[in-house]
Amino acid sequence: MIKAATFKGQDVAVFGLGRTGLTAAKSLAAGGARVHAWDDRDAAREQAASEGVTLTDLTKADWSDFSALVLSPGVPHKLPKPHWTAQRAEASDTPIICDIEIFAREIAARAPDNRPKIIAITGTNGKSTTTTLIGHILERCNRAVQIGGNIGRGVLDLDRMHAGMIYVLELSSYQLERAPSLHADVAVFLNLSPDHLDRHGDMAGYEAAKLNIFNNQTDKDTAVIGVDDPTGKRVCTMMKAKNGRRIVPISGRKSLAHGATVIKGKLYCAVGRSVTEVADLTRAQTLEGTHNWQNAAAAYAAVQALGLKAKEIGPAILSFPGLAHRMESVGMVGPVRYVNDSKATNGDAARQALAAYENIYWIAGGVAKKGGIEGLSDLFSNVTRAYLIGEAGEAFAKTLKTNKVSCKVSDYLETAIICATKDALASKKPNPIILLSPACASFDQFKDFESRGDVFRSKSGDIIALFQREINAAQLKSKSNDTSAA
């Protein structure tokens, strides 16, 4: 754990005692702060107390004593409606921050030659894959690395700071809007599409929160920017006009005069007049699709900015084991492959998998985001049949039928897997894919997208075993019949 010594001797309010809140409270206390922690949920307070966290009923506290309110990123401070703690903080002129800001202050407090490096990653889609891939590359290249933020461990739960450490942080818009001191040695902006608009008001507000990742960078730092979507292209142009840092454009599908790019599956680095081939990504099954090629380009550019060489980065990329719930191959029965893309919680995320495969038996549905799946109609030709689950089932069926896509409202995930398996095996199509890419949140039937993906993996495994037994029995019977006939 990182001790938050920059708040030593100060009173700090902490609201929201989930993973990051609990860690923040413990870190602050270890660093000498007087912590006043609270949560609206009885169970969360009980858990915090059992772990030695000091509780204070913030509804009755004197807010004029607090140096800061560490507010859980998921709790709104403005839109759609300010939480009551945010209202109290504003009334008492108390800064509202999150654990990322505490982490940033701890790094800034160290002598410049004793500071660890930070690679920070944001974007609507691809953050977790890119973050994990960067961490994997650094580990394979024998660098001291810690991965956290919006993935895995909270930042204050990471191992102690030292000059040789590299922190690789996935950052959400919620975190970035409450971390004004964050200084990233390498800031990665992947893409932007509509999401969290209730929290940010509109796309302009959402974009502004994401662009905070570039705040505080100097001419010694690097900005890695995806240019495969219109927003990224505009952001890259804007950042170049500002100057003051190294700008590296990245693309998963088009040639760039400068930057990291993937052309026909091969990752190239273009620097000055030289072009270096880094890796043949068609050999990496865990990085299928142009979106993952862009993620690989981003990861290359990020670690190259810290001095790693192409000849060591390329093999590390190809050894990447992949990420659970992100286009994760979970098994096969006959020619049919099962792919778990449960992390695709909106239409734009599902687009990536639908574009990567053909002959898709698509399992979709749950709690739909704004726009549903209408924006995916250009990829419906890749879908042989769809199996729809959860709240969005009937609405999605209407969209698909309008676009002449065969579909079935299956209601439940297990039913969808069984139906898709039968249809895919009977189809005789080449390389059929049973794809869970829901384009929806999971909360109608599952705790979270991880639970949904775990159920898909488990049930697919059961069905694979069942169908394989039937196939083996049929083959044995056929062989027996052949022997008898002889």
Dihedral sign, Cα of residue 100, residue 102, residue 108, residue 113:
negative
DSSP E strands: which ranges in 227-353?
A: 246-251, 259-263, 266-271, 274-280, 328-333, 336-340
pLDDT at 486: 57
- The answer to whether 102 and 31 are in contact (CB under 8 A) is no
Choose, from 127, 200, 325, 343, the residue flagged as catalytic: 127
CA distance 405 to 417: 18
> What is the percentage of the chain residues whose pLDDT exceeds 70?
99
pLDDT at 371: 85
Q: Are strands 34-38 and 11-15 parallel, antiparallel or unpaired?
A: parallel
pLDDT at 339: 97
pLDDT at 369: 87
Closest CA to 332 of 413, 414, 424: 424
- The answer to whether 185 and 221 are in contact (CB under 8 A) is yes
Cα 368 to Cα 94, 200, 347, 439, distances in angstroms: 37, 19, 9, 7
Intervals of the chain under pLDDT 50: none
Q: What is the pTM of this model?
A: 0.85
Closest CA to 110 of 65, 160, 149: 160
Sequence-distant (6+) residues with CB within 8 A of 143 are: 164, 166, 308
Active-site annotation holds for 127 = yes
Active-site annotation holds for 136 = no
Please name the amino acid found at residue 194. P
List the 383-389 sheet strands across, edge first: 328-333, 336-340, 433-436, 360-365, 383-389, 407-411
Q: pLDDT, tens digit, for every residue of 101-147?
A: 999 999 999 999 999 999 999 999 899 999 999 999 999 999 999 99
Closest CA to 433 of 350, 342, 363, 364: 363
CA distance 145 to 169: 11
Active-site annotation holds for 311 = no
Choose, from 3, 26, 150, 292, the residue flagged as catalytic: 150
CA distance 394 to 442: 16
pLDDT at 477: 80
Cα 466 → chain centroid: 33
Choose, from 77, 83, 196, 343, the residue flagged as catalytic: 196
